[in-house]
C-alpha cells in the first residue's frame, strides 16, 4: 500500500516529536522529583531511579574534555549534522521499510532530546538504572537513550529482513 507524501511526512515528524516529547517530559519529572544522590527503588534493587547530570556523551564520554570549542564540535555540531543527514535520508528515500523508518525516527528523536539538554542545560539528565543481578547491568540512562537503542534494534531487524529477502 502506497501512502501519500504528506501523510508520510506527518508520520515521520510525528514519530520524532513523540520520542522528543516522551524524553523531555520524563527528564522534567526526574529534575523536579528526584533529589541528588537519592535512590528510588522501582523494582527492588533491579530498577532504580537516580538522577545525574552527564556533561559528556554516552556514559560520560568526553565529559572531561577541557577545550570548549572541540567539546561543542563533538557534542553539538557533529550530532546536529548527523541528525540532519539521517532526516534528509528518511525524507528523500521513499523505499525504506517500516522498521527502518521507525528506527531512524527513534534515533533522531532521542538525539534531539539529548541535544536539547546539552544546549539548554549544558548537561544531559540521566535517571534510570537497571541491574539484574550481574546478568544485565546498565549505566544511568534516560528515555532518549532508550529511543536510540530501540531505533538501533529496529535498524538491525530491517537489515536482517532485507538480507533474508535478497538471499531467496
The residues annotated as belonging to the active site are 126, 145
Number of Cβ within a 10 Å radius of residue 89 = 12
Q: Are 104 and 89 in contact (CB under 8 A)?
A: yes
HSE, side-chain direction, 13 A CA sphere, residue 163: 6
Nearest-5° Cα angle at 60, 80 to 57: 10
Cell representation of residue 71: 567539546
Q: Are 107 and 21 in contact (CB under 8 A)?
A: no
Amino acid at each position: 500500500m502506497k501512502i501519500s507524501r504528506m501523510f508520510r511526512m506527518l508520520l515521520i515528524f510525528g514519530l520524532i516529536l513523540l520520542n522528543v516529547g516522551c524524553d523531555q517530559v520524563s527528564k522534567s519529572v526526574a529534575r523536579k522529583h528526584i533529589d541528588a544522590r537519592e535512590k528510588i527503588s522501582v523494582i527492588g534493587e533491579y530498577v532504580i531511579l537516580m538522577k545525574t547530570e552527564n556533561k559528556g556523551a554516552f556514559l560520560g564520554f568526553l565529559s572531561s574534555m577541557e577545550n570548549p570549542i572541540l567539546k561543542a564540535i563533538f557534542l553539538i555540531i557533529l550530532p546536529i549534522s548527523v541528525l540532519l543527514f539521517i532526516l534528509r535520508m528518511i525524507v528523500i528515500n521513499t523505499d525504506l521499510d517500516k522498521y527502518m523508518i521507525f528506527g531512524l525516527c527513534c534515533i533522531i528523536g532521542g538525539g534531539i532530546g539529548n541535544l536539547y539538554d546539552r544546549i539548554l542545560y549544558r548537561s544531559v539528565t540521566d535517571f534510570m538504572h537497571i541491574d539484574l543481578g550481574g546478568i544485565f547491568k546498565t549505566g544511568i540512562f534516560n528515555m532518549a537513550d532508550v529511543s536510540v537503542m530501540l531505533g538501533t534494534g529496529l535498524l538491525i531487524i530491517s537489515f536482517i529482513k532485507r538480507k533474508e529477502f535478497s538471499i531467496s
